[in-house]
Structure 1
Amino acid sequence: MSSFFQGLYGERVKDLRPSPIREMLHLVRRPGIISFAGGMPDPEAFPVELFYQAAGIIKSQGKDVLQYGTTEGYAPLKDFLIQWTAPRMGRKLEHDEMLITAGSSQVSDLLCWALIDKDDLILMEEPSFLGVFLNMHNHGAKFLTVPCDDEGMMVDLIPEKVERAQREGKKVKLCYTIANFHNPLGTTLSLERRRKLIEYAHRYGFAIMEDDPYGYVRFEGEHLPTLFSLDDRGVVIYAGSFSKILAPGTRVGWCCGHKDIIRKMAIFKQGVDVCTSLVAQAMVYEYCRLGHLDSFLPKIIDHYRKKRDAMEDAMRRHLPLEKLHWVKPQGGYFYWVKMDGIDCDRLFQVAVDKQVAFVPGKAFYPNRDGGDQEIRLCYTFASPEQTDQGMRRLGEAMREMIR
């Protein structure tokens, strides 16, 4: 029997796209499966006892933090973030240049509400983070994709792409990028390309959303300046999150930008959720105020560095290296493996039969055109022992495909 709502759905439902990763979770949660599919942090890296200490703020300030909060965010948390992020932002922000959000994913949603009309174009790396481009797609956006190499987005291709779109009467309003430890690529955008991207945004009049959930999780190498700090015209909206530097269950993130766009996003947020959970914001603030963010973050980084190293070692020992290419990430959560002559969908079926899972590359292509011989592997969740066993199984699956 058809649903009562069948005749009531709006136009956007006709082209609604779910997350393929969420849809496949029932497969990878089977007993015995070693999964490199999800992008989840390791619960062993959660600062449980330290965060429990932060819960004391509910007892001491419960009458305030159990109340509705301002949409713009809990002022003490914003004060802390203004100080803490100043080295990355290039300066101390004003309160009206920052909005506290329900994770960094909400930033893209609010930005789309503020900027995107149906069929507007968004520049984006290809491949890219599907959680964001699915949301943008559901807002009615179309994608102008830019291929990537080992240094991230090939930004020199942007002028030709934008100029062609403009000649066709299309509007390119936004560029979405993950400059540090890209999801899914694991790459980092070079300094030269960062400067060129800012230059092109100024020249062609599009905004930039700099999504930086992994930027503080650097294992080695030099911290590169944020796009936000390189921009002197207010075209960049920077998005940060506590999901990777504390725990994703807090659902607390933030964004920084020109006060005008931040104000517009705050007004849309008023209708979306009134405010980010004030209890969560207050506990995160107290955790930070007690010094735990700075003291525990190096432990999180070291924990994931060891897991990255375990996957690198296991990949080199168990996989058919002559058929593969990848970039060793200097931070973040992911490896992106390019395969020569191995179809990722068929490999997925063989691998699942061997009790190991990954995400086929097709899921990360906004226009559904590519990724046939590419896969994403997440190294943060499995133990080093599971990683070794999982890579052995994956190597067996690959060799069967090659034969």
Structure 2
Amino acid sequence: MSGFFDKLYSHTVAGLRPSPIREMFHLIRKPGIISFAGGMPDPEIFPVDLFYEAAGILKTQGRDVLQYGTTEGYPPLKEFLRTWTAPRMGRTVEDEEILITAGSSQVSDLLCWSLVDPGDLILIEDPSFLGVFLNMHNHGADFLTVPCDADGMMVDRIPELVESAQRQGRKVKLCYTIANFHNPLGCTLSLQRRKKLLEYAHRYGFAVLEDDPYGYVRFDGEHLPTLFSLDDQGVVVYGGSFSKILAPGTRVGWCAGNREIIRKMAVFKQGVDVCASLVAQALVYEYCRLGHLDGFLPRIVDHYRKKRDAMEAAMRRHLPLEEVSWVKPQGGFFCWAQTKSLDADTLFLKAVEKKVAFVPGKAFYPKQDGGQNALRLCFTFASAEQTEEGMSRLGQAMREMLPG
């Protein structure tokens, strides 16, 4: 029956782009591989016992939480989030301004359903999180890519990009940004640039998706105000997640924004999955109600701070510093390393031979036109011992590729 579906596929399938990270998993799952590739939390810090305690809600409210839920989200969890996020949001959002989602990735999907027609343009950091831009691509979006430096997206490039597109009769609908502890770069958008980005959004009439899964995982420095809190015209949709501050297996995220766009996203969600798992939402809520989110989160942050420091120390000990450079991230999960001359794809294959893995940089470029000499390293998953050994192996692979 091979080929049966060839004449049945949608037009979207023709341009479908799979995740290169998922595609490489068959290489990095070999026994003995030390992986800095997948952006996974450390299961050793999962609050298993505390979450098990939260499961008591199934005994007391099981008949309710095992039923279908409202598309907008489990009301007690929404109420908790309205209060808990107020310091970051700059105010307590209204009930109609918040939507519970199946992880933060669903926020971008629902927003694209609501805003993006095939051929519409999205401003996006270059590089960016491939999970989101692949989804946007599969919605038919094209990209206006904006380069980044240590202070995040170089937003002063935006006027020229938008005005050029408008002269061609094209619509710029959205700007996607990971303002805090960027994936993959690890950088943070400066306060000045946050204000500039909003100025341009208001001037040119595009929405902003502020994807903030790492915002609460800050190791150094002061928290910067969210774009949502700085926005006085309601153009920002803020996306948050429990994946990095509790556990990704919950698949519970949320977004906040203008009630009109939240309503449109909720209507699309009705057709996508009816509602996020009510059981998962109830368990997350009970975990939060018992005080465990605030009580345990500092331990998570401290745990990952130590892992970041262990990776950087190992990088300094084992990598050829005349060839490799990086910026120490102030939070999040990732370190972005740049080499002067090494091809990252070739280095990846040599590294896998030595049983260590990373993600080559070009996977994160929406137009697949950069990152040939870069690699993303996730510091949260491997143990300190694995990080030390993994960096030793990576350093050996690099030196074998250098002349002389």
Q: TM-score, normalised by structure 1?
A: 0.99
Secondary structure, counterpart of 2:118 in structure 1: coil
Deviations 1:90-118 (A, max 9, x none): 00010000000000000000000000000
Deviations 1:124-168 (A, max 9, x none): 000000000000000000010000011110001111111111111
CA distance in 1, matches of 2:298, 2:319: 31
CA distance in 1, matches of 2:330, 2:95: 32
In the TM superposition, what is the alpha-carbon distance from 1:2 to its structure 2 partner?
Answer: 3.0
Deviations 1:5-34 (A, max 9, x none): 111000000110000001111111100111
Could you tell me which residue of structure 1 aligns to residue 294 of structure 2?
Answer: 294
CA distance in 2, matches of 1:96, 1:341: 52
Task: Return 5+ residue gaps in structure 1 as ranges.
Answer: none
Counterparts of residues 79-94 of structure 1 (less than 5 Å):
79-94=79-94
CA distance in 2, matches of 1:327, 1:167: 38
- Structure 1 residue ranges, 4+ long, deviating more than 2 angstroms after superposition: none
CA distance in 1, matches of 2:210, 2:172: 16
Determine if the alignment matches structure 1 residue 387 to structure 2 residue 387: yes
Letter in 1 for 2:41: P
Could you tell me which residue of structure 1 aligns to residue 126 of structure 2?
Answer: 126
CA distance in 2, matches of 1:219, 1:82: 25
Determine if the alignment matches structure 1 residue 50 to structure 2 residue 50: yes
Determine if the alignment matches structure 1 residue 98 to structure 2 residue 98: yes
Letter in 2 for 1:105: S
Could you tell me which residue of structure 1 aligns to residue 375 of structure 2?
Answer: 375
Could you tell me which residue of structure 1 aligns to residue 211 of structure 2?
Answer: 211
Secondary structure, counterpart of 1:351 in structure 2: helix
Determine if the alignment matches structure 1 residue 175 to structure 2 residue 191: no
In the TM superposition, what is the alpha-carbon distance from 1:324 to its structure 2 partner?
Answer: 1.7
Secondary structure, counterpart of 2:220 in structure 1: coil
CA distance in 1, matches of 2:241, 2:89: 14
Letter in 2 for 1:239: G
CA distance in 2, matches of 1:168, 1:342: 38
Counterparts of residues 299-314 of structure 1 (less than 5 Å):
299-314=299-314
Secondary structure, counterpart of 1:304 in structure 2: helix
Deviations 1:174-217 (A, max 9, x none): 00000000000000000000000000000010000000000000
In the TM superposition, what is the alpha-carbon distance from 1:402 to its structure 2 partner?
Answer: 1.1
Determine if the alignment matches structure 1 residue 29 to structure 2 residue 47: no
CA distance in 2, matches of 1:316, 1:288: 39
In the TM superposition, what is the alpha-carbon distance from 1:255 to its structure 2 partner?
Answer: 0.1
In the TM superposition, what is the alpha-carbon distance from 1:326 to its structure 2 partner?
Answer: 1.0
Secondary structure, counterpart of 1:321 in structure 2: coil
CA distance in 2, matches of 1:162, 1:327: 30
CA distance in 2, matches of 1:341, 1:394: 15
CA distance in 2, matches of 1:321, 1:151: 23
Could you tell me which residue of structure 2 aligns to residue 141 of structure 1?
Answer: 141
Q: TM-score, normalised by structure 2?
A: 0.99
Task: Return 5+ residue gaps in structure 2 as ranges.
Answer: none
Letter in 1 for 2:20: P
Could you tell me which residue of structure 2 aligns to residue 398 of structure 1?
Answer: 398
Secondary structure, counterpart of 1:294 in structure 2: helix
Deviations 1:233-275 (A, max 9, x none): 0000000000000000000000000000000000000000000
Could you tell me which residue of structure 1 aligns to residue 60 of structure 2?
Answer: 60
Deviations 1:329-386 (A, max 9, x none): 1100000011101100110111111111000001000011111001100000000110
CA distance in 2, matches of 1:2, 1:251: 35
Deviations 1:271-300 (A, max 9, x none): 000000000000000000000000000000
CA distance in 2, matches of 1:314, 1:69: 48
Secondary structure, counterpart of 1:59 in structure 2: helix
In the TM superposition, what is the alpha-carbon distance from 1:321 to its structure 2 partner?
Answer: 1.0
The alignment-based identity, stated in percent, is: 77
In the TM superposition, what is the alpha-carbon distance from 1:36 to its structure 2 partner?
Answer: 0.3
Could you tell me which residue of structure 1 aligns to residue 38 of structure 2?
Answer: 38
Could you tell me which residue of structure 1 aligns to residue 282 of structure 2?
Answer: 282
CA distance in 2, matches of 1:103, 1:268: 16
Secondary structure, counterpart of 2:24 in structure 1: helix
Secondary structure, counterpart of 2:70 in structure 1: coil
Counterparts of residues 308-347 of structure 1 (less than 5 Å):
308-347=308-347
Letter in 1 for 2:177: T
CA distance in 1, matches of 2:78, 2:205: 29
Secondary structure, counterpart of 1:144 in structure 2: strand
In the TM superposition, what is the alpha-carbon distance from 1:3 to its structure 2 partner?
Answer: 2.5
Letter in 2 for 1:303: H
In the TM superposition, what is the alpha-carbon distance from 1:401 to its structure 2 partner?
Answer: 1.1
CA distance in 2, matches of 1:367, 1:17: 12
Could you tell me which residue of structure 2 aligns to residue 114 of structure 1?
Answer: 114
In the TM superposition, what is the alpha-carbon distance from 1:67 to its structure 2 partner?
Answer: 0.5
Letter in 2 for 1:238: Y
In the TM superposition, what is the alpha-carbon distance from 1:57 to its structure 2 partner?
Answer: 0.3
CA distance in 1, matches of 2:61, 2:171: 48
Secondary structure, counterpart of 1:322 in structure 2: coil
Deviations 1:57-110 (A, max 9, x none): 011001110110000000000010000000000000100000000000000000
Could you tell me which residue of structure 2 aligns to residue 14 of structure 1?
Answer: 14
CA distance in 2, matches of 1:65, 1:349: 48
Secondary structure, counterpart of 1:64 in structure 2: helix
